[in-house]
Amino acid sequence: MSKITHLKTANIFLRTLLVVELGFISASVVNIINYRNYWHQTIFRVQTVDFNMLSHMLPTKLSAALIKNDTKELQRTLDSNYGYFGLIVTNCKISEQICSSQKIIYASQSRNNYLETIQTANLAQQPFDLLRDPPPLLTEASYQHARAVDRDATGQVNPGNIIGRVYYLRGTPPNFLADYLSWIKNPLGGGGAQRAYTLTFVLFTVSFSLLWTAASFKGLKDQNKLIDTQNKRLEAENSLYRVHGFFRGFQEMIEQDGTSVIANHLEELRGILRRLDVDVDNIVHDMIKAPLLSVNSEESNQIAEKLDTYLTNLSSDEEGEIIQSVIAFLRKTDETISAISWVLQDLRQVGDLDSHRIHVQESIERFLTNLPPNLANNPWINITFEDKCQTPLWIMCNAWHLRSVAKNVIYNSATALRRARSAWRRSNDAEFKGQIQITTFQRGDKAGITISDNGLGFSEKVLPVVYQTTEKVNEQAGGAEGRGSIIVHSYLTLHEGEVEVSNRPEGGASVTFLFPLVDA
């Protein structure tokens, strides 16, 4: 056999192997859906129908066998399902759902070893029918349709003494990986979901093979056409070849330069859109963290009623209470206006998206003089600033972004301090004093900002990922809540910042940000 023949054979083998591999990978993705459709939908509905039919007939048969003490017929009845689901008979003699003192007296020989995995304490959530003496004729509960998960009571109650109950346990589907490995070992011998696995694999493999064949045919046709074109080009005159070459080179130059300019503009636009997206998140996050203090209608009505009473029938006993209510109402209104003013003042700075040279220490001091109202007016939280660097620290950053980074970390510290305060009050009489300290320093060619507190610290789950991911750290938070970590991480990425997060040995958390230094 010649070398060319060997190469052709090897090429066919490699192509076949690649087509089979692509077919298997694509089919595996779809077969996950086939697995769920078969085991969690088709089989589930089939078992629902089975349980519904058994609920109409089985209590009568089992009650009669139990009354006659015919254990063989009772066991044969339980084993008639070939082990595809579980049937368990207990000695419970009450009708309540939970029967803690019951014991299993008979069970079907199931494929899934229900007696090893299901204890009587775990039967509380399983559907069951009561066994009675005389045997029941009425159906007391049934499924409304094949897709139903729970049974509904029919309103019928059988007479007679309760002598036990029969539980219906659904068969446990195999693990997808185990089922798939079983199919791989014998792709032509399985049924159910494995038959769908085979059909899907064959469909994808044949489709990829046809696509490859069509592409190869088109490629061969294009190759022959290219050879003819090249032959004609060689026959052209030398002058025409030079003109053609010059034209091609000039065209490529234009395309390359034009593409480069467009790509630069697109990259600039993407950067602006990324920053706008994070800025919007930050604004909404502020509205959550610095909420407007609301005055509900009920409170307003109560104050109005007291004022009306005071004006019509003035009493010295009521005077102090009314005045205090009015003062509290006005204070709450003032706090609301302060919160609105602070958020609006902060929003005015969103328009500047560019980075500038920023004096770190001055920015932190200016930020501390304009804290959110819910932090600035908090009597039991003390926020301090310490500069450990003797020289000014300058970085390239967006001033609003830098304040947002510090602000979101302080929000989290305040939340941790509130939790620590609640825990402190349960075991101490003295007032809890929350401390948040901001420190600036220089580490090599980096400017550092550390924000620490004496709260409860980060949990072990949150510690490795907080401020270091584009995903929500607190998955339970809904809507715009829980996005502070995303905002901080995004702004750090925009300005080449780094973050270090740790729990302090003496208690509380410490967050350090590092930014590249620039010349003053």
Distance CA 436, CA 434 (A): 7
- Is the four-CA dihedral 66, 72, 77, 83 of positive or negative sign? positive
CB atoms within 10 A of CB 265: 10
Alpha carbon distance 9, 490 (integer Å) = 54
pLDDT tens, residue by residue, 102-157? 999 998 887 655 555 565 557 888 899 999 999 999 999 999 998 998 999 999 99
Cα–Cα distance for residue pair 320/312, rounded to 1 Å: 16
Q: How far apart are CA 376 and CA 374, in angstroms?
A: 6
What does residue 78 show for φ and ψ, rounded to 5 degrees?
Answer: -65, -35
Structure tokens at 335: 């706090």
Torsion angle (degrees, nearest 10) of CA 14, 20, 26, 28: -130
The tokens of 68 are what?
């006659």
CATH fold of 354-520 reads Heat Shock Protein 90 (3.30.565)
Cite the DSSP H helix spans in 153-237. 176-185, 193-235
Report d(CA 17, CA 237) in Å as an integer: 47
The tokens for 509 are 């958390």
Enter the tokens of residue 499.
Answer: 């973050």
- Phi, psi for 211 (deg, rounded to 5): -65, -40
Compute φ and ψ for 349, nearest 5 degrees.
-95, 5
Predicted confidence (pLDDT) per residue in 66-77, tens digit: 999 999 999 999
Say if strands 509-516 and 498-503 run parallel, antiparallel, or are unpaired: antiparallel
Phi-psi region of 364 (alpha: psi -120 to 50; beta: other; left: phi over 0): alpha
3-state secondary structure 61-89: HHHHHHHCCCHHHHHHHHHHHCCCCEEEE
SS3 96: coil
Please list the pLDDT of the chain residue by residue as tens digits (520 residues): 566 677 778 778 888 888 888 888 988 888 899 888 888 888 889 989 999 999 999 999 999 999 999 999 999 999 888 878 889 999 999 999 889 889 999 988 876 555 555 655 578 888 999 999 999 999 999 999 989 989 999 999 999 999 999 999 887 788 888 888 888 888 887 778 888 888 888 888 888 888 888 887 777 777 777 777 666 666 655 555 554 554 455 455 445 554 555 556 556 656 665 665 566 567 656 655 655 444 455 665 666 666 666 656 655 555 566 566 656 665 666 566 566 555 555 555 555 567 889 999 999 998 888 887 778 778 889 999 999 988 999 999 988 889 889 988 998 899 889 988 888 888 887 888 899 999 999 999 999 999 999 998 998 888 888 888 877 776 555 444 567 888 888 889 888 999 999 999 998 999 999 999 998 7
| Cα dihedral across residues 459, 465, 468, 471: positive or negative | negative
Coil, helix or strand at residue 424: helix
Number of helical (H) and strand (E) elements in the chain, helices listed first = 13, 13
Identify whether the C-beta of residue 89 lies closer than 8 Å to the C-beta of residue 107.
yes
Q: Which of 119, 118, 160 is nearest to 140 (CA)?
A: 160
CB 481 within 8 A of CB 456: no
325 within 8 A of 306, measured Cβ to Cβ: yes
Judged by DSSP in three states, 158 sits in coil
Sheet containing 381-387: order of strands: 381-387, 434-443, 446-453, 509-516, 498-503
End-to-end Cα spacing for the chain: 77
Phi then psi dihedrals of residue 258, to 5 deg: -65, -45
The pair of three-digit structure tokens given for residue 33, joined into one six-digit string: 């859906």
**Among candidate residues 478, 439, 432, the one with its CA nearest the CA of residue 455:** 432
Distance separating alpha carbons of residues 441 and 393, to the nearest angstrom: 8
> Of 412, 405, 485, 486, which is closest to residue 455 (Cα–Cα)?
412
Burial 8-41 (b: 16+ CB within 10 A, else e): eeeeeeeeeeebeebbeebbeeebeebbeebbee
Strand partners, 43: none
| Whole-angstrom distance, CA of residue 43 vs CA of residue 110 | 16
Residue 65, Cβ density class (10 Å: 0-12 exposed, 13-18 middle, ≥19 buried):
buried
What is the amino acid identity at position 10?
A
Would you state the structure tokens that stand for residue 217, as one six-digit string?
A: 């045919």
**Residue of 363, 204, 342, 210 whose CA lies nearest to 286:** 342
CA–chain centroid gap for 472, Å, is 8
Token code pair at residue 194: 């494995």
What order do you get walking across the sheet with 104-107 strand by strand?
104-107, 86-90, 161-169, 128-133
pTM exceeds 0.85: no
Residues near 203 by Cβ (< 8 Å), separated by ≥ 6?
Answer: 27
Beta carbons within 8 Å of 473's beta carbon, 6+ residues apart: 462, 465, 466, 482, 485
